[in-house]
Structure formats: C-alpha cells, structure tokens
Amino acid sequence: MSLSKTQTRRLGTLLSVMFREDTPANLLNDVVAGGFVEHNDDEPVVTEKGLDEKNRLCTLAGLNIRYKSETA
C-alpha cells in the first residue's frame, strides 16, 4: 500500500525532526499543530503521539525506522 501525499509529507517531516535535519517552517508547523512534535529549548522533538504516528506510517509504507531507544 502506498501512502497518500499528506501521509508522505507527515512521515518525511517526522523523520526530518528525528534526524535533526533542517525542516521547512510550514511543514514543521503542521506537525506541531497536530501534536506530533513539540519544541524543547527551541529544538523540535517528536512526541509520543508523533512516534506512534511515525511507526504507523512506516508500517503502512513497509519501512522499519526507529530511534535506538525504541528498540527493546
């Protein structure tokens, strides 16, 4: 199954935040408004809700991308 444009944009933005890349402000604002990312000390950080969404979208796309801390 392929992701929609909205899902692809959200997943790309979440991954960009995870890997501390420069993220365009308009994309960052969308995920912050959705509660998927929050700002800690002016640094965007993926929230628990964001991790759940990232994992859901990765599963739909057939990917396995995790933080080292997420592996058990």
Number of other CB atoms surrounding residue 54 within 10 Å: 24
pLDDT in tens, 43-54: 999 999 999 999
* Better-predicted residue by pLDDT, 14 or 70: 14
Residue 72 has pLDDT above 80, yes or no: no
Q: How far apart, in whole angstroms, are the C-alpha atoms of residue 4 and residue 57?
A: 10
* Domain spans in the chain, listed from the N-terminal domain onward: 5-66
Label residues 1-39 b or e (16+ Cβ within 10 Å = b). eeeeeeeeebbebbbbbbeeeebeeebbebbbeeebbee
**What is the tens place of the pLDDT at every residue in 7-64?**
999 999 999 999 999 999 999 999 999 999 999 998 999 999 999 999 999 999 988 8
Residue with structure tokens 């199954």?
1
- Both tokens of residue 18? 């995870």
